[in-house]
Amino acid sequence: MPERLTSSDVSSFYVEDSTTPMHVGSVTIFQPSENGFDYDRLVTLISNRIALAPRFRQRVRWIPGNLANPVWVDDESFDITYHVRRSALPSPGTEAQLRELVGRIMSRSLDRTRPLWELYLVEGLEGGRFALLGKTHHAMIDSSEAVDIAQVILDVEPDHKELVTDEWAPLREPTGVELMVNAVSDFVRSPTEAVDHVRFGISDVNKSVMNLGKNMFGIASAAVTAARATTTSPLNVEIGKQRRYGMAHLTLDELKEIRRDKGGTVNDVVLTIIAGALRSWLLTRGESVGVRTVVRAMVPVSVQVDAEVSGAVSPAGVAEFLIDLPVGEPDPVVRLQRISFDMAQHKESSRMLGAEAIMAAAEFAPPTLHSMGARLGSGIGQKVFNLMITNVPGPQQPLYLNGSEMISSYPVVPLVKNQAVSIGLTSYNGGVYFGLNSDRDAMPDIEVLAQCITDAADELRNYAKPIRRANPSKVAERHAASRQRKSAAKKTTSSSPAKKTVAKKAPVKKTAAKKPATKK
């Protein structure tokens, strides 16, 4: 019997419309090897390895009358050249031209009658480079066990290892009657499964209550944040079908240096930089930014799934954290301290996974993890947050595509209704790559916001230098000057009473001088 889509998978179809296509993407840039790289090599590589990602040869088949969730069926007319496409920029293509191409391709919805993915080879980048632009529907990769096509075509060694081509034969697609019969059978079986779930929940209710009580402070803090209505923001407007795309690049060493100087975690530093960038961007637009101005961000964070803590985390192992970014705070260090404190409260209510654990579990699967985070964002009320930020760590060693080294990787996180921009981050081989997906009409200045990210990182890093590298001789001079001022102040204070005493004795002397004159 064909595998049925989960309710989570199906939900991504229900929230999708012409203005909010639910596909997640990535833009990876490569430096070709001496042997070069071309479209035919890409098609051959994927053909030889697609068996490792069987979902990419399946399509969604809906049940007549929607009696049950749809199922995955083999695409009997699967054509790999339909999904693997070729594009080029006028040589030498700039990154600005690449960003424009990304925005146009991401604006188009995927064909639901075929497997829900596309991969573009973009040639002609300056410096002899090329790029891969991939987009995949949420339903394809929206789980921690899902495998993305990038995982099977990238190697950890430059020496290309060819895999044996599999002899794939698609299974016969079930008829409408067969699908309806299977749906009815599942429906008949579901009451028993529901009773089992209820019985399990009742037997474990005491443990759940106890564990939730331990974490009540953090949960209550998150609930209070969600209960407060978001403020009016240019980030929340009615959006259209077309997109713009922005990029920014930092190094992991920069973020770690700031963390060592000012505390917090690397993730806290990232959120602080984004808060500073949003502040500068709002000011460039002439928006009113007061000391209490905040931008509420939904930050999906991978957590350890704890079956004993009911409702603390989602089944997929990703929890949605709401945090108010203090964009009104002019001091970047205070911004970092406030964000670090708020994130610490969230840690009280769930156990976050470290970057090493995430990478070990998923290897290089940023599209998969970004997809999980974006699904959470689409399921929350539109007025609960202003902006979605996903941050996915990747491997810190180079990866190769048929011998060509991958030099950067930028995520593309989809927009939800009334969200003008989404920000995704992927760290890879010492770099941190920001991808800004935005509505074309609402964000004509997306490149300004991307530049503000770089500027905000410089502001935070440079702000720490005078404190961390103070000149000892200058410090000694300031202390000596301070002691001199204090000493002078004491002398002035001690001399004041003597002057007053002389002034009081003066009249007495004058009276004594007049007495002899009176006797004469």
Q: What is the pLDDT of residues 199-232, one digit of tens each?
A: 433 443 344 334 434 444 444 444 444 445 556 7
Angstrom distance (rounded) from CA 455 to CA 476? 33
What confidence score (pLDDT) does residue 197 get? 38
Is residue 503 scored above 60 in pLDDT? no
Q: Where is average pLDDT lowest: 210-219, 291-300, 416-425?
A: 210-219
Give whole-number Cα distances, 161 to 153, 238, 344, 397, 398, in Å: 10, 48, 45, 18, 16
Mean pLDDT of 161-168: 71
Is residue 389 scored above 90 in pLDDT? yes
Angstrom distance (rounded) from CA 276 to CA 265? 17
At the fourth CATH level, the homologous superfamily of domain 7-177 is Chloramphenicol acetyltransferase-like domain (3.30.559.10)
| Higher-confidence position of 14 and 74 | 74
Could you tell me the residue ranges of all domains in the chain? Answer: 7-177, 216-468
What confidence score (pLDDT) does residue 300 get? 77
Contact between residue 149 and residue 134 where contact means Cβ atoms under 8 Å apart: yes
User: Residue 387: pLDDT band by 50, 70, 90 thresholds?
Assistant: very high
Is residue 518 scored above 60 in pLDDT? no
Query: How much of the chain, in percent, has pLDDT values that exceed 70?
Result: 68
Contact between residue 112 and residue 17 where contact means Cβ atoms under 8 Å apart: no
Give yes or no on whether 7-177 and 216-468 have one common fold: yes
- Name the pTM for this structure: 0.76
Instruction: Report the helix count and the strand count for the chain, using DSSP H and E.
Output: 16, 14
| Higher-confidence position of 322 and 125 | 125
**Mean pLDDT taken over the chain:** 78
Identify the top-confidence range among 298-312, 352-366, 424-438: 424-438
Angstrom distance (rounded) from CA 250 to CA 457? 8
Mean pLDDT of 492-520: 48
| Higher-confidence position of 233 and 424 | 424
Which amino acid is present at 335? Answer: R
Q: What is the pLDDT of residues 297-326, one digit of tens each?
A: 988 765 544 433 333 334 345 567 889 999
Q: What is the pLDDT of residues 254-290, one digit of tens each?
A: 999 999 998 899 999 999 999 999 999 999 999 999 9
What confidence score (pLDDT) does residue 146 get? 62
Residue 161 buriedness (CB in 10 A; 0-12 / 13-18 / 19+): exposed
Is residue 354 scored above 60 in pLDDT? no
Mean pLDDT of 125-152: 84
Q: What is the pLDDT of residues 449-461, one digit of tens each?
A: 999 999 999 999 9
What confidence score (pLDDT) does residue 118 get? 97
At the fourth CATH level, the homologous superfamily of domain 216-468 is Nonribosomal peptide synthetase, condensation domain (3.30.559.30)
Q: Where is average pLDDT lowest: 112-121, 131-140, 307-316?
A: 307-316
User: Residue 492: pLDDT band by 50, 70, 90 thresholds?
Assistant: low
Q: What is the pLDDT of residues 170-187, one digit of tens each?
A: 888 888 787 777 777 766
What confidence score (pLDDT) does residue 276 get? 97
Give whole-number Cα distances, 333 to 69, 328, 350, in Å: 50, 13, 26
Q: What is the pLDDT of residues 5-34, one digit of tens each?
A: 887 788 888 888 889 999 999 999 999 999
Angstrom distance (rounded) from CA 145 to CA 126? 37
What confidence score (pLDDT) does residue 159 get? 86
